[in-house]
Amino acid sequence: MGVTVDVAYKSLNKFTEILCGDSVEILKTADSDILILADGMGSGVKANILSTLTSKILGTMFLNGATLDECVATIVETLPVCQVRGVAYSTFSILQVFHSGDAYLVEFDNPGCIFIRDGKLMEIPRSIREIDGKKINEFRFRVKKGDALVLMSDGTIHAGVGQLLNFGWLWEDIADYAVKEYGKTVSAIRLATAICHACDELYMFRPGDDTTVACMRIIDSKPVHLMTGPASNADDDERMVADFVGDPNARTIVCGGTSSTIVSRVLKKPLDVSMDYVDPEIPPIAFMEGIDLVTEGVLTLNRVLQLLRRYVKKESVAEDFFEELDKPNGGSMVAKMIIEDCTEIHMFVGKAINSAYQNPGLPFDLGIRQNLVEQLKNTLEEMGKPVTVTYY
Amino acid sequence: MKVTICIGSACHLKGSREIIKEMQDLVSARGLKDKVDLNGAFCSGNCVKEGVCVTVDGTLFSLKPEECTEFFEKEIVGRL
């Protein structure tokens, strides 16, 4: 059935800590997507090491086909023992969703996974099994398009304990909030950020514990095609445009003045260039029938790269990031489509050198398209989006 | 009269935004909205010139932001 997922997470560090004691691993195998959340005991460096070890061991072993029992045994033997508490301890949740629609959930001591389907909370039955003296919930089920699954560390249910709320934010109340936000948000990152932000408010912006929310939404595959730069040999223009618009399921973005002029010529569709300078640093966008987004090239792509980098560095992703992403300038619009509405991206890159850009009088080096494309590709891969680049 | 101002990368860096703003102000201050049709355009392939590419009824000019008022009087109002 070809299940695709949109997966993202957001963490808050315990107040005054530089490192987060929760770790998240997002992995892809040939036939599945895996999301792992581990919460190390304590906070700061120690917790960070424990959770990193746990999530990395689980991820690496799972990727190589180890069973859950082997994974747990390895973790128990590997984790360093805490001097204060005399135990080695990190909680974890593992969610694996296969492209076939089968899902596998393992939970050890984390708050339960929130499972939302058709705007309603679904119950995940408990099926406890004991491995090495640890009670582990292991459960297999089916997912379908539109489902959302939320993993979290206990920083969420402890939010506001003893301050704004007597007993913290109860799981049921978080689940209700998640269901409400599920209806309002389109992407995994917005849902994760919304829940995390609510926790932050309950903590009065001084989190008493590391808090992490990781979301997976089951969606249709959403390929995006992005074309930038004219082909180095003008005879290849038509072939390049034909490849670019060749997939009727893919959304299309053209980044580049000359490139969009070429697309307009080849497709015989007029190009309507806006004069609305919504952002003084980035030229306005344009409109063309059949193309989802048309923007200027290098300056816009440079802004896109900055936004994607901010996204990859999770700590700066908060409400103000989404405000930036929702702005109607070319850079934000491209970044938003890539972050929130794209499961894989194919870039069609022309290698022609624009002689006008070889002008030392310009305040910005415009001759950096291929370099930008390389950096974009690396950043997209860090985001976990498969990227293909074709040069012309 | 159709006036097209390039907003491609190179022209943008040379001041398209200032020129568009000033042209729009001049057009409305003179009450010429019915006569002068301002448009944006992507690269017309003439970016090697010193200024921003501006076409007035098909004739290409290269314009720097500081020359805008003078240009407007001469090439736009002067041709109406």
All structural domains of chain A: 4-219 (3.60.40.10), 223-391 (3.40.228)
Determine the pLDDT at residue A24.
Answer: 95
CB within 8 Å: B9 and A298: yes
Determine the pLDDT at residue A300.
Answer: 95
- The rounded mean pLDDT for chain B is 87
Whether A285 shows a pLDDT value over 70: the answer reads: yes
Whether B47 shows a pLDDT value over 70: the answer reads: yes
Residue A354's pLDDT band (cuts 50, 70, 90): confident
Burial B51-76 (b: 16+ CB within 10 A, else e): bbbbbbeeeebbbebeebeebbeebb
Residue B76's pLDDT band (cuts 50, 70, 90): confident
Chain B contacts of A297, Cβ < 8 Å? Answer: 9
Determine the pLDDT at residue A262.
Answer: 93
Residue A70 vs residue A368, higher pLDDT: A70
Determine the pLDDT at residue B74.
Answer: 87
CA distance to partner chain A, nearest, from residue B75 (Å): 20
CA distance to partner chain A, nearest, from residue B36 (Å): 15
Report the percent of chain A where pLDDT is more than 70: 94
Instruction: Inform me whether the C-beta atom of residue B43 falls under 8 Å from chain A C-beta atoms.
Output: yes
Residues of A with CB under 8 A from a CB of B: 257-258, 260-261, 271, 273-275, 277, 280, 283-284, 286, 296-299, 354-357, 359, 362-364, 366
Q: What are phi and psi of A112, to 5 degrees?
A: -60, 155
Task: Sheet with A32-40: list strands edge to edge.
Answer: A22-28, A32-40, A90-98, A102-108, A134-142, A128-131
- Of residues B9, B13, B38, nearest to A257 (C-beta): B9
Q: SS3 string of chain B?
A: CEEEEECCHHHHHHCHHHHHHHHHHHHHHCCCCCCCEEEEECCCCCCCCCCEEEEECCEEEEECHHHHHHHHHHHHHHHC
The type of residue at A240 is M
Residue A11's pLDDT band (cuts 50, 70, 90): very high
Highest-confidence segment of A82-91, A235-244, B55-64: A235-244
Residue B79's pLDDT band (cuts 50, 70, 90): confident
Determine the pLDDT at residue A363.
Answer: 66
CB within 8 Å: A286 and B40: yes
Instruction: Inform me whether the C-beta atom of residue B5 falls under 8 Å from chain A C-beta atoms.
Output: yes
Q: CB pairs below 8 Å between A and B: how many?
A: 69
pLDDT digits (tens, 9 = 90+) for A249-276: 899 999 998 899 999 999 999 999 988 8
Rounded mean pLDDT of A216-226? 92
CB within 8 Å: A362 and B42: no
Q: Is the reported ipTM for this assembly greater than 0.85?
A: no
Chain B contacts of A366, Cβ < 8 Å? Answer: 9-10, 13
pLDDT digits (tens, 9 = 90+) for A304-344: 999 999 998 876 677 889 999 999 999 999 999 999 989 99
Are residues A43 and A72 in contact, defined by beta-carbon separation less than 8 angstroms? no
Instruction: Inform me whether the C-beta atom of residue B69 falls under 8 Å from chain A C-beta atoms.
Output: no
Q: Give, rounded to a whole angstrom, the gap between the first and last alpha carbons of chain A.
A: 34
CB within 8 Å: B47 and A354: yes
- Of residues B7, B16, B42, nearest to A261 (C-beta): B42
Instruction: Inform me whether the C-beta atom of residue B41 falls under 8 Å from chain A C-beta atoms.
Output: yes
Angle subtended at Cα B65 by Cα A328 and Cα B46, rounded to the nearest 5 degrees: 80
Determine the pLDDT at residue A360.
Answer: 64
Whether A160 shows a pLDDT value over 60: the answer reads: yes
Determine the pLDDT at residue A269.
Answer: 94
Domain boundaries, chain B: 2-79
Are residues A308 and A338 in contact, defined by beta-carbon separation less than 8 angstroms? yes
DSSP reduced 3-state for A276: coil
B2-79: which CATH topology?
Glutaredoxin (3.40.30)
Determine the pLDDT at residue A1.
Answer: 47
CA distance to partner chain B, nearest, from residue A328 (Å): 17
